[in-house]
């Protein structure tokens, strides 16, 4: 081989092992020079290769391969060892360089820190806010003049070395001390508070404090910085504003907003009871005797209820024109209701009119702690309406079982963890039918608990935080079952479809979970379809994409046909969308609309399926609208029942009759 | 301001691997730490062709810069410039025209520190430490260097970086912001990982990088084409790395190149 040929071959070999930032012609020239040099000085050739950056893991090997037929072994041996040496030096150089770079970077940071310290100094001295830096024991390291003025001293230096705690008002010192300690221990980054300090003349002064921590170079808390704003006048104003915001001006009681926040505070497991009172026939008083009389009456009612609330250590509020609310703890409902009626029933003389009042009362007793205050207010209101519907002086207890949604959340949510532990949750398999041929396409694995549907069970699990463990279990179990079917029945085994809840659809470990379920069960990936909750995809989650990239076919469940959802179809590789919309009866406008939607979906190359289709007539409607598949035409079966069916039938289960 | 004074220098956490150092390692560089190499090994298990892909990507960067130089571009904004390993943009461009100017942008400590060191005495190139997904800040910092003239065409390079840009960062808006900041005739060179070529390997990479400082987001050819709104894609369009205007005969397998590359010219 001629030297130029050899150089060309060497170049091709080298450039596939390392990135050499030169044109081919340039590299070739370099290598031709190297070839000329090689017999006399393999060491310089080695250096040359390294400085060209022909330093890939395979660069030396291919070099030897290309050169071996032409050059003697001892030369190549020298080349190799010199190359290794040069590589080592090069690596050292680079590591050295990186160290220098990092040291410089640190120096830069320190320089900017100095500048920022200078800026801090400037702010410190000229601020209108009081600023004090204390060590963790509370000793003042530095304070500015502004702070000195707030506490009635003349110069910041007067505070030097004093204990900041001496400035706290005794009422506050314990709480403040604790708050500072939490910051000092690094538990929180800082706090804000409104507190009193004591001036040099003994007068209290209201201040707004903002406390943060200064850390040392190791990131450990070293000092506190406290900024202090004098609020004495502001404070008074604020207090009256707050009061107005939170109280009813007629009766002086808390208003609804204030009441709700107080309820919120007790939603920590405290056994509370809410009473929502509506005065019976108050509008009769108001309209018949005039608003003034009405107002006076309301004040009297407020007083009487106020006494009762005090006795019971209850929270009382006026939450509407003639409506009051009471929150008690550890209470007996019947006796409180009686006491309320007694307090109101006592005849009242207003402007010479003797009036006896009564109230209708809605009661919410010991709600579960995960209910929100707003929900409880709504429940109490519902109960009040029920009581009113029964006549005057009635009361009604909010019955969580009245309301299906709340039943789901309150009662079932509470028992779900137990049911799950005791194995009461079951997996059943619902057939998916292809509408064109009425063949069974596969089986959807679903949760079954009590008489709840899969989706309700999932939604419930989502609200209790159980949906991830339950969803993983469903994934594993169903894959294992499907794998057994494949093993036993081969091609006749149904493909497995799993619909995930909203949380699991978005779970960042989902892909890993799916892969694990497949690995452990041995189920071939192409026999699995994962239906993700459409909300996850709308939220921009990429599980659908990643699953697809892993060769797993996905569907979107809960599809409603919104523009946002259609837009997603253009981007996310899904095979099918599944809707739970009602069947579009033929010759209805819905039918037309659904047809249009399905055509659009098909336009994206996506198939359309409907869930919860229970009759052949509905299936026909869907078919006419262009849908591809339906779920629910046959009742869901347990795994054992499916196995039996597969075993007895020569073919998959027939379509519904 | 108390907060500012309290902030301590972040230092370089050599225990946390970074994409910049991973790439350096794959290219055979020595500017990396044990944690980076460990990550690289896992990366290589997911995509055994990763070293070649890194090399092809760097080679594309070179061809793209030379293409731009041929088209009259003399100033470059290199987004996600990485650790200056070999064949840096200013070196490539200056071999063609010594007056070429470059502003590098990266947000990774070591990449920035190292670039700063290398560019210390270079009046025509500078690095700014910014997040390239925040174009306003990047452009402001770039203007502050005084190196680029935004009334003249600029070569914007986003090579091997957009796979670190999550969908939430709105990649189209990011590209559009840079496009709108430069005059017509400016160019955009772009490359990023895709799942179109080797879906399984790509998924493996995504998984490996998921929990790192730099999770990855592959894009399809259509998505990448979408990013070029307002640009004319120059031939041959969006293609696997080795097929973008190869120098001489291409011997690398495009199906295993992992990354799509493209150059566009602002209309
Ligand atoms: C794989 S390197 C590419 C280097 C060079 N552009 C090339 O193609 O050869 C990607 C670089 O982008 C940087 N990077 C990633 N996301 C970034 C962001 N949001 N802003 C700035 N730099 C980023 C990383 O730190 C890394 O240095």
Domain extent, residue A353, equals: 252-398
Domain match, A170 and A143 both: yes
**What is the rounded distance in angstroms from the CA atom of residue A107 to the CA atom of residue A124?**
25
Closest residue to A549, CB basis, from B4, B58, B199 = B199
Q: Is residue A627 part of a domain?
A: yes
Using an 8 Å Cβ cutoff, are A340 and A364 in contact?
Answer: no
Q: What is the pLDDT of residue A115?
A: 66
Q: What are A511's two structure tokens?
A: 């892909």
Q: Is residue B64 part of a domain?
A: yes
CATH number at A370 reads 3.30.70.270
Please list every protein residue whose CB sits less than 6 Å from any atom of ligand 1: B 19-20, 23, 57-58, 61, 80-82, 105-108, 111, 131-133, 159-161, 164, 214
- Spell out the SS3 assignment of A365-432: ECCCCCCCHHHHHHHHHHHHHHHHHCCCCCEEECCHHHCHHHHHHHHHHHHHHHHHHCCCCEEEEEEE
Domain match, A66 and A94 both: no
The percent helix, strand, coil of chain A (3-state, each to 5) is 55, 20, 25
Mean pLDDT taken over chain A: 83
Q: What are A173's two structure tokens?
A: 């010192």
Residue B86 near chain A (CB below 8 Å): yes
**Closest Cα to residue B77, out of B155, B177, B180, B176?**
B155
Complete DSSP assignment for A525-584: GGGEEEEEEHHHHHTT--HHHHHHHTT-EEEEES----HHHHHHHHHS--SEEEE-PPP-
CB contact (8 A) between residue A19 and residue B87: yes
Q: Is residue B189 part of a domain?
A: yes
Phi, psi of A317 (to 5 degrees): -150, 155
Residue A28 near chain B (CB below 8 Å): no
**What is the rounded distance in angstroms from the CA atom of residue A92 to the CA atom of residue A152?**
64
Q: Is residue A597 part of a domain?
A: yes
Phi, psi of B44 (to 5 degrees): -65, -30
- Count of the separate structural domains present in chain B: 1
Q: Is the pLDDT of residue A612 over 60?
A: yes
**Residue B84 CA, ligand 1 centroid: distance in Å:** 11
| Neighbour count for residue A488 (Cβ, 10 Å) | 12
Q: Count CA within 13 A, CB hemisphere, residue B235.
A: 2
Domain match, A67 and A95 both: no
Residues of A in contact with B110 (CB under 8 A): 98, 101-102
Domain extent, residue B160, equals: 50-197+216-266
Interface test with B, best of A8, A12, A18, A19 (most B CBs within 10 A): A19
Which residue among B19, B156, B170 is best mutated to probe the pocket of ligand 1, counting the most ligand atoms within 8 A of its Cβ? Answer: B19
Q: Is the pLDDT of residue A54 over 60?
A: yes
Sequence-separated contacts (24+) of A632-637 with Cβ below 8 Å: A632/A430, A633/A431, A633/A433, A634/A430, A634/A431, A634/A433, A635/A430, A636/A428, A636/A429, A636/A430, A636/A444, A636/A446, A636/A448, A637/A428, A637/A429, A637/A430
Which residue among B59, B106, B142 is best mutated to probe the pocket of ligand 1, counting the most ligand atoms within 8 A of its Cβ? Answer: B106
Q: Which of A212, A236, A260 is the last residue of a domain?
A: A236
Closest residue to A546, CB basis, from B112, B206, B248 = B206
Q: Is residue A411 part of a domain?
A: no
CB contact (8 A) between residue B28 and residue A106: no
**Judged by CB atoms within 8 Å, which residues 170-209 of B form the interface with A?**
195, 199-200, 202-203, 206-207
Residues of B in contact with A21 (CB under 8 A): 58, 62, 86-87, 91-92
Q: What is the pLDDT of residue A571?
A: 81
Least confident interval from A91-100, A450-459, A504-513 = A450-459
Nearest CA to ligand 1 atom 27: B82
Domain match, A429 and A387 both: no
Closest residue to B110, CB basis, from A18, A102, A110 = A102
Domain match, A156 and A20 both: no
Distance from CA of B27 to the nearest CA of A (A): 7
For A213-227, how does the pLDDT look when each residue is reduced to its tens digit (9 = 90+)?
887 767 778 888 888
Q: What is the pLDDT of residue A565?
A: 82
Least confident interval from A190-204, B53-67, B132-146, B207-221 = A190-204
Residue carrying the six token digits 């699991």: A504
Least confident interval from A9-13, A188-192, B25-29, B45-49 = A188-192
Closest residue to A113, CB basis, from B9, B112, B206 = B9
- Spell out the SS3 assignment of A38-62: CCCCHHHHHHHHHHHCCCCCCHHHH
Closest residue to A105, CB basis, from B109, B247, B251 = B109
- When pLDDT is averaged across residues A315-344 and rounded to a whole number, the result is 91
Closest residue to B59, CB basis, from A19, A91, A545 = A19
Q: What percent of chain A has pLDDT over 90?
A: 26
Least confident interval from A50-54, A141-145, A229-233 = A229-233
CB contact (8 A) between residue A550 and residue B2: no
Domain match, A156 and A15 both: no
Domain match, A333 and A358 both: yes
CB contact (8 A) between residue B12 and residue A102: yes
CB contact (8 A) between residue A550 and residue B167: no
**Residue A452 CA, ligand 1 centroid: distance in Å:** 51
> If you measure CA to CA, which chain A residue comes closest to B224?
A571
Q: Is residue A219 part of a domain?
A: yes
Q: What are A350's two structure tokens?
A: 């207003």
Least confident interval from A73-77, A134-138, A459-463, B123-127 = A459-463
Residue A25 near chain B (CB below 8 Å): no
Q: What is the pLDDT of residue A236?
A: 55
- Strands A629-631 and A607-610, how do they pair? parallel
| Neighbour count for residue A257 (Cβ, 10 Å) | 13
What is the sign of the dihedral through the CA atoms of A142, A144, A145 and A151? negative
Domain match, A231 and A257 both: no
CATH number at A560 reads 3.20.20.450
Q: Is residue B25 part of a domain?
A: no
Mean pLDDT taken over chain B: 90
CB contact (8 A) between residue A56 and residue B86: no
Domain match, A436 and A390 both: no
Q: Is residue A242 part of a domain?
A: no
Residue B134 near chain A (CB below 8 Å): no
- Strands A190-198 and A607-610, how do they pair? unpaired
For B158-214, how does the pLDDT look when each residue is reduced to its tens digit (9 = 90+)?
999 999 999 999 999 999 999 999 999 999 999 999 999 999 999 999 999 987 889
Domain match, A262 and A202 both: no
Q: If you count residue pairs, one on A and one on B, with CB atoms under 8 Å apart, how many are there?
A: 127
Using an 8 Å Cβ cutoff, are B40 and B57 in contact?
Answer: no
- When pLDDT is averaged across residues A322-351 and rounded to a whole number, the result is 87
Most confident of A258-267, A414-423, B143-152: B143-152
- Count of the separate structural domains present in chain A: 4
Q: Is residue B8 part of a domain?
A: no
Q: Which of A236, A261, A277 is the last residue of a domain?
A: A236
**What is the rounded distance in angstroms from the CA atom of residue A534 to the CA atom of residue A559?**
6
Beta strands in A100-232 (DSSP E): 130-135, 140-143, 190-198, 204-215, 221-230
Q: Is residue B117 part of a domain?
A: yes
Interface test with B, best of A549, A554, A571 (most B CBs within 10 A): A549
Domain match, A537 and A626 both: yes
CB contact (8 A) between residue A105 and residue B116: yes
Nearest CA to ligand 1 atom 1: B160
Q: What is the pLDDT of residue A244?
A: 66
Interface test with B, best of A93, A105, A537 (most B CBs within 10 A): A105
Distance from CA of B117 to the nearest CA of A (A): 6
**Judged by CB atoms within 8 Å, which residues 31-90 of A form the interface with B?**
53, 55-57, 90
CB contact (8 A) between residue B8 and residue A512: no
Least confident interval from A136-145, A580-589, B167-176 = A580-589
Q: Is residue B210 part of a domain?
A: no
Q: How far apart are the first and last CA of chain B?
A: 46
Helices and strands counted in chain B (H then E):
10, 8
Work out the pLDDT band at A656, boundaries 50, 70, 90. very low
**pLDDT top residue among B138 and B250:** B138
**pLDDT top residue among A243 and B162:** B162
- When pLDDT is averaged across residues A308-321 and rounded to a whole number, the result is 91
Using an 8 Å Cβ cutoff, are A111 and B128 in contact?
Answer: no
Distance from CA of A645 to the nearest CA of B (A): 36
Closest residue to A213, CB basis, from B6, B199, B210 = B6
Q: Which atom of ligand 1 is nearest to the CA of B23?
A: 1
Q: Is the pLDDT of residue B254 over 60?
A: yes
Domain match, A439 and A394 both: no
CB contact (8 A) between residue A212 and residue B110: no
**pLDDT top residue among A324 and A558:** A324
What b/e string do you get for A368-389 counting C-beta neighbours within 10 Å, with b at 16 or more?
A: eeebebeebbbbbbbbbebbbe
CATH number at B128 reads 3.40.50.150
Q: Is residue A655 part of a domain?
A: no
Q: Is the pLDDT of residue B244 over 90?
A: yes
**What is the rounded distance in angstroms from the CA atom of residue B204 to the CA atom of residue B217?**
12
């Amino acid at each position: 081989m001629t030297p130029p040929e050899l150089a060309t071959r060497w170049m091709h070999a080298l450039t596939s092992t390392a990135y050499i930032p030169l044109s081919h012609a340039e590299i070739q020239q370099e290598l031709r020079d190297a070839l000329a040099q090689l017999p006399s000085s393999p060491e310089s050739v080695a250096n040359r290769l390294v400085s060209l950056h022909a330093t890939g893991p395979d660069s030396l090997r291919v070099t030897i391969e290309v050169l071996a037929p032409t050059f003697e072994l001892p030369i190549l041996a020298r080349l190799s060892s010199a190359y290794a040496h040069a590589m080592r030096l090069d690596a050292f150089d680079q590591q050295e360089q990186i160290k220098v770079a990092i040291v410089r970077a640190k120096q830069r940071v320190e320089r900017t820190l100095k500048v920022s310290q200078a800026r801090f100094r400037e702010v410190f001295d000229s601020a209108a806010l009081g600023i004090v830096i204390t060590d963790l024991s509370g000793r003042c390291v530095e304070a500015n003049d502004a702070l000195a003025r707030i506490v009635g001293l003349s110069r910041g230096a007067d505070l030097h070395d004093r204990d900041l705690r001496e400035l706290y008002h005794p009422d506050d010192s314990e709480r403040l001390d604790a708050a500072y300690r939490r910051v000092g221990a690094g538990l929180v980054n800082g706090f804000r508070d409104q507190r009193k300090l004591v001036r040099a003349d003994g007068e209290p002064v209201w201040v707004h404090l903002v406390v943060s921590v200064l850390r040392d170079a190791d990131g450990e808390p070293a000092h506190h910085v406290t900024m202090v704003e004098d609020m004495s006048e502001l404070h008074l104003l604020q207090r009256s504003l707050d009061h107005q915001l939170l109280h009813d001006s007629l009766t002086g009681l808390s208003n609804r907003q204030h009441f709700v926040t107080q309820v919120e505070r007790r939603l920590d497991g405290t056994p509370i009871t809410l009473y929502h009172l509506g005065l019976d026939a108050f509008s009769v008083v108001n309209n018949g005797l005039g608003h003034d009389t009405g107002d006076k009456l309301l004040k009297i009612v407020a007083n009487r209820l106020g006494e009762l609330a005090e006795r019971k250590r209850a929270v009382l509020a006026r939450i509407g024109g003639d409506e009051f609310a009471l929150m008690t703890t550890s209470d007996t409902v019947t006796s409180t209701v009686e006491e309320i009626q007694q307090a109101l029933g006592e005849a009242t003389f207003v402007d010479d009119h003797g009036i006896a009042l009564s109230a209708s009362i809605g009661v919410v007793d010991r709600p579960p702690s995960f209910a929100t205050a707003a929900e409880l207010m709504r429940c109490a209101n519902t109960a009040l309406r029920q009581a009113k519907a029964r006549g005057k002086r009635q009361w009604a207890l909010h019955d969580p079982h009245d309301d299906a949604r709340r039943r789901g959340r309150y009662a079932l949510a509470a028992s779900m963890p137990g049911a799950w532990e005791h194995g009461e949750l079951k997996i059943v398999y619902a057939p998916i039918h292809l509408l064109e041929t009425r063949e069974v396409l596969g089986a959807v694995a679903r949760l079954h608990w009590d008489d709840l549907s899969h989706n309700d069970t999932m939604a419930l699990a989502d609200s209790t935080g159980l949906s991830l463990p339950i969803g993983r279990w469903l994934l594993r179990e169903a894959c294992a079952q499907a794998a057994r079917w494949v093993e036993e029945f081969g091609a006749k085994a149904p493909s497995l479809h799993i619909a995930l809840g909203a949380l699991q659809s978005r779970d960042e470990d989902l892909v890993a979970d799916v892969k694990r379920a497949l690995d452990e069960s041995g189920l071939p990936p192409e026999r699995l379809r994962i239906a993700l909750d459409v909300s996850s995809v709308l939220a921009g989650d990429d599980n659908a994409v990643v699953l697809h990239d892993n060769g797993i076919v996905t569907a979107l469940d809960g599809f409603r046909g919104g523009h946002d959802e259609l837009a997603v179809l253009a981007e996310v590789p899904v095979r099918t969308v599944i809707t739970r919309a009602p069947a579009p009866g033929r010759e209805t406008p819905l039918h037309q609309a659904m047809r249009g939607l399905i055509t659009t979906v098909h336009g994206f190359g996506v198939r359309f399926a409907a869930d919860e289709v229970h009759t052949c007539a509905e299936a026909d409607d869907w078919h006419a609208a262009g849908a591809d598949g339906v779920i629910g035409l046959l009742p869901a079966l347990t795994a054992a029942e499916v196995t039996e069916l597969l075993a007895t039938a020569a073919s998959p289960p027939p379509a519904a009759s | 301001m108390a907060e500012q004074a309290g902030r301590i220098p972040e230092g370089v956490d050599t225990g946390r691997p970074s994409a910049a150092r991973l790439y350096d390692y794959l290219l055979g560089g020595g500017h990396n730490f044990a944690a980076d190499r460990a990550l690289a090994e896992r990366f290589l298990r997911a995509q055994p062709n990763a070293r070649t892909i890194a090399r092809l990507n760097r080679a594309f960067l070179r061809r793209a810069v030379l293409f731009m130089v041929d088209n009259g571009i003399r100033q470059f904004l290199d987004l996600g410039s990485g650790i200056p390993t070999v064949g840096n943009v200013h070196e490539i461009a200056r071999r063609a025209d010594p007056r070429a100017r470059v502003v590098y942008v990266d947000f990774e400590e070591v990449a920035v520190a190292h670039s700063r060191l290398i560019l210390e005495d270079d009046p025509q190139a500078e690095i700014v430490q910014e997040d390239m997904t925040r174009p306003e800040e990047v452009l402001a910092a770039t203007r502050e260097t005084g190196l680029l003239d935004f009334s003249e065409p600029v070569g914007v390079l986003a090579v091997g970086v957009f796979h670190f840009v999550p969908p939430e960062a709105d990649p189209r808006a990011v590209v559009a912001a840079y496009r709108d900041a430069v005059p017509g005739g400016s160019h955009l060179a772009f490359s990023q990982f895709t799942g179109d070529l080797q879906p399984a390997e790509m998924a493996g990479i995504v998984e490996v990088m998921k929990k790192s400082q730099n999770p990855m987001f592959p894009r399809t050819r259509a998505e990448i084409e979408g990013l070029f709104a307002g640009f004319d894609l120059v031939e041959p369009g969006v293609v696997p790395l080795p097929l973008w205007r190869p120098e001489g005969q291409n011997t690398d397998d495009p199906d295993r190149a992992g990354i799509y590359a493209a150059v566009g010219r602002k209309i």
